[in-house]
Amino acid sequence: MRQVTASGQTVDEAVNSALEQLQTTRDQVEVTVIDEGKRGILGLFGSKLAVVNVSVKRDPIEETEQYIKDIAESMKVPISIETTVEENNVLFELSGEKIALIIGKRGQTLNALQYLVQLTLNKRSERFYRVMLDAEGYRQRREETLKSLAGRLADRAIRSNKRVFLEPMPAFERKIIHTELQNHPEVKTHSEGEEPHRYLVIKP
């Protein structure tokens, strides 16, 4: 954390001096007043400078980016990250030559990492964020795969007149299938099991 201790004739002067040194603005820092100072007689005798400690506020999103990079580095997968923030939704888009290692089989590694990233960001932040972790457009490709799968499995349920059980998947993937089949006239869907092993059922 970047911080400086600065002094001035008043607390405000001391804070402004610290802001200049840190090259930042008042809303980006936390100020601790060490000594409010003393004017002295006639403003001359016995005066004492005000002293403050000013530190730049932690950015939980930037810290989480570094957390992702550290994990990728431990996997020997160099990556770059593009972050998009819209209200309380954060999208971390990863790219790199060995990105398939980050995605894993059917996105399992990516989903596990997304879970850890969401926990990490919200632990470090004063507000709640919804996190989406993507890797070179994998989420869009996966969505198209799930929609196609939903149609095929709905047909199977109708033909066999039996329930069809899908493999466990995260809530946002189950929602894609729920949404795809919600207006289907011949099947219904629901989820069973406990997280993280909750799975979707398609029934005639």
Q: Give domain limits for the chain.
A: 3-56, 60-136, 140-203
**DSSP track, 7-22:** EESSHHHHHHHHHHHH
Cα–Cα distance measured from residue 152 to residue 147, given in angstroms and rounded to the nearest whole number:
9
Report whether CATH 3.30.1370.50 matches the domain 140-203.
yes
- Given a cut of 60, whether residue 38 has pLDDT beyond it is yes
Q: What pLDDT, on a 0 to 100 scale, did the predictor assign at position 47?
A: 78
Instruction: Give the residue-averaged pLDDT of 178-196.
Output: 95
Which position has the higher pLDDT, 30 or 177? 177
- Across the chain, mean pLDDT equals 92
CB atoms within 10 A of CB 132: 15
Query: What band does 1 get if pLDDT is binned at 50, 70 and 90?
Result: low
Angle at 176 between CA 173 and CA 178, to 5 degrees: 110
pLDDT of residue 41: 61
Residue 103 pLDDT level (bands cut at 50, 70, 90): very high
With H, G, I as helix, E, B as strand and everything else as coil, classify residue 187.
coil
CA 199 vs. chain centroid, Å, equals 24
Q: How far apart are the first and last CA of the chain?
A: 58
Tell me: pLDDT of 39 over 80: no
41-68 residue pLDDT tens: 655 566 788 999 999 988 899 999 999 9
- For every residue of 34-99, which 3-state class applies, written as one string? EECCECCECCCECCECEEEEEEECCCHHHHHHHHHHHHHHHCCCCCEEEEEEECCEEEEEEECCCH
- What is the rounded CA–CA span in Å between residue 115 and residue 1? 26
Over range 98-112, report the average pLDDT.
93
Instruction: State the pTM of this model.
Output: 0.71
Which of these CATH numbers, 3.90.1150.10, 3.30.160.20, 3.30.70.2190, 3.30.300.20, describes 60-136?
3.30.300.20
34 pLDDT tier (thresholds 50, 70, 90): very high
Confidence of residue 190 (pLDDT cuts 50, 70, 90): very high
pLDDT one-digit tens code per residue, 120-170:
999 989 899 999 999 999 999 999 999 999 999 999 999 999 999 999 998
| 3-class secondary structure, 183 | coil
Query: Do the domains 60-136 and 140-203 sit in the same CATH topology, yes or no?
Result: no
